């Protein structure tokens, strides 16, 4: 097959060829690869198919030059596709003919590489992606991902990453979805995973330490992330379960999930791709219930806990590794917060591991380990609604560490090292964990140990409980005032449910937890505790009726995702601990 151009304007054509040659990569040994396997499609077949699909004549391609001038429109897309298909066909033909003589097909390889890169210019026109799909160019783009030359594959991956980038597709959602769908239907998910693994050896290490190899792996992970964003995550209103078709497709059709879990293993050195792998893993597990189940089925939770255990005795070395730790714990939380997975978390001694991480400072109030913050968050998720986890927490001597955080003994160090938001999160998480313990621990001995914490040190924790209640009540009052101003100034009428959700984010959730702890302590009928709580409340102008109102509101908004029976049980449990003064009657 010939790719000669018209000679009518010899000088212009020569100048054009010089310009095209100047844009080509330098011909070096990296372009000479192993001989290709015979292909079942001839170069003529590929070209004929491309010309038929594109509807572009040879003159169109000849007149297009380098394609750099003029606006990008449908005709321009057809020219790009045909030029790409022609270069691909030429390369297939040259490799089949000169398989053992790399220098003879190197020129066609460079041409193909150039045309692949030119497809990346379409990232500025996502409204034309549907045209790209109609021209059936995607199957050929997917085929290039299996090319023998890894330089060509790496460039093709970078182009696909650019085309699927959120900044590229945000102006045309339909175009992005059309491209994402075509990629999957063309076997793109399997091809992307194959491209991911070809840059590694049998042990999972990069074949080469060059930045190009690392970038190729990063490009695949970037494409996975981009496709997940394009297809979006949906949440089922009835079950509350999330799903993402693109991410689920990768996990169903390839071993990507297994690869990611292996990549974040404890024994692996921390590098850019380990960090990126941890981020993609967290995104996948947060976005899909199916992927979470698949992760648990392949013992992924145990792998994640082992990876987190690397930080029992050491701190992250830099900001990148800190982000890695956060991603690991986000992944653990995504899996462990599912009720049916909490038993496995307890079985794998996850509670004990989190307590070790929580104690990473060894009681030094001037220091706080980085992993202690996400460990507390993980415990918050796991202990919520799980009796066994709560019992294991108390048996593991977790009360001492928990109440040290609750009392704010390391708050200054946390604020100095990690910022005010981290200190606030410690307050909210510790309050939530204490609330979970009161709700789910019914063993007399364990419950006595829990209540005894509020007696020791002259009832200091009772004082702290009311102190925090006042602080978060102020936060909620400020948010209520803000919402009322929004209603008046902007004329926006929020529903009762919307206002409630806004206030939850502003601190009402923690205020409810603190109120429940107060109510459970009051329900013990332990006279010294009741007297101290009543005294603290009175000094801060808090009436028991205020606490009852908060608990009734909380009961009213209990969700029913676990079923009507579970909701009714939760509501009854809340209303059963409404605090009343001796002899006080509830006014109807």
| pLDDT, tens digit, 9 for 90 and up, residues 275-291 | 999 999 999 999 999 99
CB atoms near residue 109 (< 10 Å): 25
Q: Considering only CA atoms, which of 374, 393, 471 is closest in space to residue 435?
A: 393
Position with higher pLDDT, 207 vs 417: 417
Span 174-190, mean pLDDT?
A: 96
Please check the confidence at residue 555 and state whether its pLDDT lies above 90: yes
Q: Which pLDDT tens digit goes with each residue over 442-455?
A: 999 999 999 999 99
Cβ neighbours of residue 277 closer than 8 Å, sequence gap 6 or more: 221, 259, 260, 263, 264
pLDDT at 203: 62
CB atoms near residue 131 (< 10 Å): 20
Question: Whole-angstrom Cα distance, residue 57 to residue 70?
Answer: 19
Q: Considering only CA atoms, which of 381, 479, 467 is closest in space to residue 432?
A: 381
CB atoms near residue 478 (< 10 Å): 12
Please write down the long-range contacts of 573-577, taking CB distance under 8 Å and 24 or more positions apart.
573/439, 574/516, 575/551, 576/523, 577/516, 577/519, 577/520, 577/522, 577/523, 577/551
What residue ranges in 247-374 does DSSP mark as E strands?
none
- Provide the token pair at 548: 């009852």
The answer to whether the beta carbons of residues 158 and 206 sit under 8 Å apart is no
pLDDT at 567: 80
For residue 200, what are the β-bridge partners?
206
Please check the confidence at residue 42 and state whether its pLDDT lies above 90: no
Q: pLDDT exceeding 90 applies to what percent of the chain?
A: 67
Question: Whole-angstrom Cα distance, residue 478 to residue 75?
Answer: 58
pLDDT at 461: 97
Task: Report CA torsion sign: 224, 226, 231, 236.
Answer: positive
pLDDT at 563: 65
Q: Indicate the range of 52-56, 221-225, 237-241, 504-508 predicted with least confidence.
A: 52-56
CA 420 to chain centre: 24
For residue 243, what are the β-bridge partners?
234
Q: Which pLDDT tens digit goes with each residue over 222-245?
A: 999 999 999 999 998 777 889 999
- Mean per-residue pLDDT over the chain, rounded: 86
Task: Label the pairing between strands 242-243 and 234-235.
Answer: antiparallel
State the first-to-last Cα distance of the chain, in angstroms, to the nearest integer. 92
Please check the confidence at residue 48 and state whether its pLDDT lies above 70: no
Q: Considering only CA atoms, which of 464, 440, 462 is closest in space to residue 451?
A: 462
Q: What is the largest CA-CA distance in the chain?
A: 108
- DSSP letter at 504 equals I
pLDDT at 69: 43
Distances (CA, A) of 360 to 173, 403, 409, 546: 46, 15, 15, 39
The answer to whether the beta carbons of residues 250 and 189 sit under 8 Å apart is yes
Three-class SS of 566-584? HHHHHHHHHHCCCCCCCCC
Q: Pick from 195-204, 438-447, 559-568 the range whose average pLDDT is largest.
A: 438-447
- DSSP letter at 34 equals P
Position with higher pLDDT, 390 vs 99: 390
Residue 198, phi then psi, degrees to nearest 5: -70, -20
Question: Whole-angstrom Cα distance, residue 201 to residue 374?
Answer: 33
């Amino acid at each position: 097959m010939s790719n000669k151009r018209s000679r009518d304007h010899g000088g212009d054509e020569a100048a054009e060829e010089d310009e095209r040659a100047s844009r080509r990569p330098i011909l070096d040994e990296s372009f000479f690869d192993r001989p290709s396997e015979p292909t079942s499609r001839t170069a003529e077949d590929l070209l004929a198919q491309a010309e038929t699909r594109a509807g572009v004549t040879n003159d169109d391609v000849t007149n297009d030059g380098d394609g750099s001038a003029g606006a990008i429109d449908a005709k321009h897309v057809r020219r790009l596709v045909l030029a790409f298909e022609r270069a691909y066909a030429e390369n297939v033909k040259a490799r089949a003919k000169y398989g053992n003589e790399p220098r003879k097909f190197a020129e066609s390889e460079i041409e193909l590489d150039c045309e692949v890169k030119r497809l990346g210019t379409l990232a500025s026109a996502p409204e034309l992606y549907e045209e790209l799909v109609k021209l059936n160019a995607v199957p050929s783009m997917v085929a290039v991902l299996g090319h023998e030359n890894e330089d060509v594959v790496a460039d093709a991956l970078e182009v696909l990453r650019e085309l699927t980038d959120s900044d590229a597709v945000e102006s045309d959602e339909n175009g992005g979805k059309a491209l994402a769908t075509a990629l999957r239907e063309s076997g793109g998910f399997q091809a992307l995973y194959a491209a991911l693994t070809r840059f590694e050896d049998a042990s999972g290490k990069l074949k080469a330490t060059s930045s190009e190899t690392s970038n190729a792996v990063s490009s695949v992970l970037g494409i996975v992330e981009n496709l997940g964003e394009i297809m979006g995550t949906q949440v089922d209103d009835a079950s509350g379960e999330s799903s993402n078709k693109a991410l689920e497709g990768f996990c169903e059709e390839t071993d990507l999930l297994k690869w990611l879990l292996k990549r974040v293993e404890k024994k692996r050195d921390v590098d850019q791709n380990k960090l990126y792998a941890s981020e993609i893993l967290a995104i996948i597990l947060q976005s899909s219930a199916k992927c979470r189940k698949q992760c648990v089925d392949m013992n992924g939770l145990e792998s994640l806990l082992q990876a987190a255990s690397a930080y029992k005795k050491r701190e992250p070395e830099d900001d990148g590794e800190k982000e890695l730790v956060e991603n690991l714990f986000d992944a653990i939380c995504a899996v462990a917060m599912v009720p049916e997975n909490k038993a496995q978390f307890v079985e794998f001694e996850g509670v004990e591991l989190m307590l070790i991480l929580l104690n990473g400072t060894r009681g030094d109030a001037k220091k706080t380990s980085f992993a202690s913050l996400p460990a507390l968050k993980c415990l918050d998720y796991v202990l919520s609604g799980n009796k066994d986890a709560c019992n294991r927490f108390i048996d593991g001597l977790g009360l001492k560490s928990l109440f040290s955080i609750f009392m704010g003994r390391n708050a200054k160090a946390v604020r100095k090292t990690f910022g005010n938001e981290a200190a606030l999160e410690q307050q909210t998480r510790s309050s939530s964990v204490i609330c979970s313990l009161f709700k789910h621990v019914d063993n007399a001995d364990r419950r006595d140990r829990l209540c005894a914490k509020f007696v020791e040190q002259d009832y200091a924790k009772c004082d702290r409980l009311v102190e925090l209640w006042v602080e978060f009540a102020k936060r909620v009052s400020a948010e209520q005032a803000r919402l009322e101003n929004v209603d008046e100034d902007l004329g926006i009428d929020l529903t009762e449910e919307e206002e409630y959700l806004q206030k939850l984010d502003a601190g009402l959730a923690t205020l409810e937890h603190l109120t429940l702890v107060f109510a459970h302590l009051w329900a013990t009928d332990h006279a010294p505790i009741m007297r101290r709580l009543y005294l603290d409340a009175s000094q801060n102008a808090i009436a028991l009726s205020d606490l009852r109102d908060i608990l009734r509101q909380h009961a009213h908004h209990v969700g029913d995702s676990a079923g009507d029976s579970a909701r009714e049980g939760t509501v009854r449990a809340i209303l059963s601990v409404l605090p009343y003064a001796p002899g006080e009657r509830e006014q109807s």
